[in-house]
């Protein structure tokens, strides 16, 4: 096989490239940057945010938190909007009832 870094031919079982010293083991690169994109996803699709929060809460605490908070805000605004719409509906009903 060839080194992932310097592309020189190395032993198939080599863990570290003897030429450049770069590890050849595919280390699982866990990206846990608490990206705002996941928060936005959670905000737009609260259910997805909740699932990501549960799936990642151990492996990617920051990203899961971003998704969870996004979902929470999404749900909160959704509920607020619902209450507002409900309130306006009542006001409309009262208005049309002649009060």
Inter-residue contact 10 to 2 (CB < 8 Å): yes
Query: What's the closest the beta carbon of residue 59 comes to Zn ion, in angstroms?
Result: 29
CA atoms within 13 A on the CB side of 51: 5
| Contacts with Zn ion, 18-37, as mask; x by CB under 5 A | -xx-----------------
Taking contact as CB under 5 A, which single stretch among the options 1-9, 44-52, 53-61, 65-73 is the one that binds Zn ion?
A: 1-9
The span of 9-17, 65-73, 77-85, 90-98 binding Zn ion (CB under 5 A) equals 9-17
For Zn ion, the closer of residues 6 and 77 by Cβ is: 6
Closest to 45 (Cα-Cα) out of 82, 73, 25, 22? 73
Q: Report the distance separating Cα 77 and Cα 43, nearest Å.
A: 9
**Which residue in 18, 75, 13, 83 sits closest to 50, CA to CA?**
75
Least distance CB 30 / Zn ion (angstroms): 24
Residues making contact with Zn ion (CB under 5 A): 3, 5-6, 17, 19-20
């Amino acid at each position: 096989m060839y080194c992932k870094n310097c592309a020189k031919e190395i032993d198939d079982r080599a863990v570290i490239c003897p030429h450049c010293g770069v590890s050849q083991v595919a280390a699982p690169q866990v990206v846990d940057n608490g990206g705002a994109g996941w928060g936005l996803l959670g905000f737009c699709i609260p259910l997805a945010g909740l699932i990501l929060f549960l799936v990642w809460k151990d492996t990617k605490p920051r990203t899961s938190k971003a998704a969870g908070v996004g979902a929470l805000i999404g749900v909160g605004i959704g509920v607020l909007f619902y209450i507002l719409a409900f309130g306006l509906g009542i006001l409309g009903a009262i208005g049309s009832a002649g009060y």
